Every structure is written in C-alpha cells, then in structure tokens.
Amino acid sequence: MSDLQPMIEVSNVIKDFRSKTDLAERLAIRVGLAREPGTVHALDDVSLTIRRGEVVGLVGESGCGKSTFGRVVAGMLPATGGVVRRNGRDITALKGAEARALRLATQIIFQDPMSSLNPRKKVLDIIGEAPVFHGLVPRSGMRALVEDLMAKVGLDPAMTNRYPHQFSGGQRQRIGIARALAVNPDFLICDESISALDVSIQAQVINLLVRLREELSLTLLFISHDLSVVRYISDRVVIMYLGRVVESAPVEQIFGGARHPYTQALLAEIPRIDRRGHHFATVKGEIPSPMHPPEGCHFHPRCPFAMERCRIERPALNHASPDHTVACHLDDGFGRIEQNAGALGVTGAKT
C-alpha cells in the first residue's frame, strides 16, 4: 500500500502534437492551396500526483490522452508545457546516468505483446538482453535471471528457448511483464495491457500484477478504457476526458459515489453496477476531436446537465473531499450534481 510519499508529480502538463508537413505541403500552404496543419491537444493542463506504492487507474475513452500521459510521465515524450517530477526531480533536468536510471526505473507494458516482442528472438533474449546490456547481471547469469523471472510471472522456466508465437496471448503478456521487471523498475505503466485478452485471462493477469505489486513494492499507473477493469487493482481512479482530468478519487468513492456526469455515465455502462436512483443515461455520442475540443467544459456537448456557463467557462478541479476532486460547475463540494442541477432547473433530460 501507499506510504503517501509522492513518486510522480505532474504539474500543469500540456502536450500538443502538430502534424508534420513535407516540402510539397509547405509550398501548397504558402500559395494558399492548403491549410495550415492542425494541432492535436492531447493533454490540456493536467496535474496529478502518484504516491509511492500506489496503484492509480487512469480511465477514459480512446483518444482522451491517457496513453500520451503515460508516455510523458515515462519521459518517452517531452511535454509541451508544465513539469513532470520523479522523486522531486524534474525529469527533463536529468542527464547521463541519472536519465538512464530513470528510464530503467519506469517501464511500460503495452497492449499488444505480439507487436512489442521481437518474433525472431527467443524468450531468453527478449527478457535477458536489457539487464545484461545495462550491466545489472553478467551474461553468465542471464539464464538464471530469466528462469527466475519466468517463474515469478507464472511461466514454465523450461520454455526460455521458445519464440513468442509459441505462446498464447496471456502468456505473451506475462513475457512482457517479465521483460519489464528484468531491469528492476519501481514504477510500471500498464497501457491497456490486458485489453486484448479474454476476460478470464484478464483476471489472471490482474491477479499477477496485484501479487507482483505486493512482492516487489511496485507503484503502478494502470491505463484502461474500461472502468470495470481498474476496480480490482486500483487504490485510486482518475477519469480523463479529452486531455483533462475531470474526477479523481479513491476507488471505493468512484464506484460508490462518483460525482462527475462523465464518470457516472461510464459507470452506467458497466452492466453489473446497480443503477437504481441514477437519473442519467449512458454516455452518448462520440468523443470530439482533440484537434477541435469544445470550448468551456469539454464534456458539454454530451452532458445531460450542460448549462450556458458550461459552453463558455472551463470548470476548475475542486475538492469534494480531501482526496476527491471534480471538475464540474454543478459540483460545489456539498450538494450532489443531481441536486444542484435540480436547484438550477437543469433537468438532465438531454442525452
């Protein structure tokens, strides 16, 4: 469990992607035959703290910026603005050996193990090469290390000479986890790591991650589009919508007392959640393009409670309780959104 010391502090991070143009396109733009390329606003002033030993579930629809967030936190992508601190140090200020140590200490486990594992390499090399390359173990100790890691993730150590295609999808994801663990990280970013797996296999991999987190004192950022998946692993859940954090709370508060209309709509999409007493419909419509996000509250075109103010003014992330933050004009931290909407005459009927 978390010892409450911040490991990752993300402050006001912005990440924009500008489309690259080739020479012909630049000439076309110059003579007015083409328009300037657009900018994708992937992260829009995101602040978030991940405590040491904590498991944070980061949830949102595809295209909301959560994978970009993971890559910025890992130092794989530079932020356009804002600061990411690891153990109190700005990660962009780290150079040489310190920067390399940071890269090893943070490992990402990706969604599709088949495309992230080299099909021409044996599992022995896939898992063992990095620790040997970085001098964490001599080449003579590589096999013993790999066998130990395979046992740790529930794979038969006798299979070190096999290739990725000789394993099932769940086993390949275990290989990906073993490869990540091989360089002794203290922070794992699981980016939709179980999304491609069958539900029963998902549960097995989640159980594995829960066990490894305890055994190795890991801190986890668990990224998923599926709110139901993060429930069983997260201490805290952060909901992201179109590059912004809209709600953050301990997992039991998200599942027992979500406040933001978007979180409520995501919960309403989970079949086994008891929806009695809820007045909202499941989230309707498509997430807008991050190239042209709506003004004001990004969620207003899909929100059943949207008011005029929502179309103009960005809601601040306010504290509903010390550990629960919500970005909604209808949430004053006291009355629930439905009550405040009623008081203001907003019916919630729009879907």
> Phi/psi at 165 (nearest 5 deg)?
-70, -10
Of 10-18, 101-109, 111-119, 295-303: span binding ligand SF4 (CB under 6 A) = 295-303
CB 244 within 8 A of CB 45: yes
Report whether 245 contacts 64 (CB < 8 A): no
Stretch that binds ligand SF4, among 15-23, 85-93, 283-291, 328-336 (CB under 6 A): 328-336
Contact 59, 237 (CB under 8 A): yes
Which residue lies nearer to ligand SF4 by CB, 26 or 350? 350
Among residues 206 and 310, whose Cβ is nearest to ligand SF4?
Answer: 310
| Intra-chain end-to-end CA distance of the chain, in Å | 40
How far apart are alpha carbons 110 and 189 in whole angstroms? 8
Q: Does 329 bind ligand SF4 (CB under 6 A)?
A: yes
Of 146 and 326, nearer to ligand SF4 (C-beta) is: 326
Among 182, 197, 242, 328, binds ligand SF4 (CB under 6 A): 328
x/- track of binding to ligand SF4 for residues 219-258 (CB under 6 A): ----------------------------------------
Q: Which stretch binds ligand SF4 (CB under 6 A): 2-10, 36-44, 54-62, 327-335?
A: 327-335
Assigned token pair, 321: 């309780």
Query: Residue 107 belongs to what H/E stretch?
Result: strand 106-109
Residue number, 65 or 176, with CB nearest to ligand SF4: 65
Please report whether residue 299 would count as binding ligand SF4 according to CB under 6 A. yes
Nearest to 333 by CA among 345, 346, 347, 323: 323
Residues within window 48-107 making contact with ligand SF4, judged by CB under 6 A? none
The contact mask relative to ligand SF4 for 257-276 (x = CB under 6 A, - = no) is ----x---------------
By beta-carbon proximity to ligand SF4, the closer residue of 222 and 299 is: 299
- Least distance to ligand SF4 from the beta carbon of 331, Å? 7
Provide, rounded to whole angstroms, the least separation between the CB of residue 281 and ligand SF4.
Answer: 13
Task: Confirm or reject binding of residue 330 to ligand SF4 (CB under 6 A).
Answer: yes
CB of 337 to ligand SF4, least distance (A): 7
Min dist CB 50 to ligand SF4, Å, is: 25
Residues in contact with ligand SF4, counted by CB under 6 A, come to a total of 13
Q: Which residues contact 72 (CB under 8 A, 6 or more apart)?
A: 10, 13, 15, 43, 78, 79, 84
CB nearer to ligand SF4: pick between 74 and 283: 283
How far out from the chain centre does Cα 96 lie? Answer: 27
Q: Among residues 110, 255, 280, 305, which is the contact residue for ligand SF4, using CB under 6 A?
A: 305
Q: Which of 188, 220, 297, 320 binds ligand SF4 (CB under 6 A)?
A: 297
Residues 13 and 32: their CA atoms lie apart, in Å, by 34
Rg (CA), the chain: 22
Among 315, 317, 320, 324, binds ligand SF4 (CB under 6 A): 315
Cα 104 to its chain centre, rounded Å, is: 19
Q: Which residues of 89-113 are buried (b: 16+ CB within 10 A; e: fewer)?
A: eebeebeeeeeeebbbbbbbbbbeb
Residue 306, interface with ligand SF4 (CB under 6 A)?
yes
Q: Residues near 217 by Cβ (< 8 Å), separated by ≥ 6?
A: 53, 186
The string of DSSP letters for 13-43 reads EEEEEE----HHHHHHHHTTSSPPPPEEEEE
Binding site for ligand SF4 (CB under 6 A): 261, 297, 299-300, 303, 305-307, 310, 315, 328-330
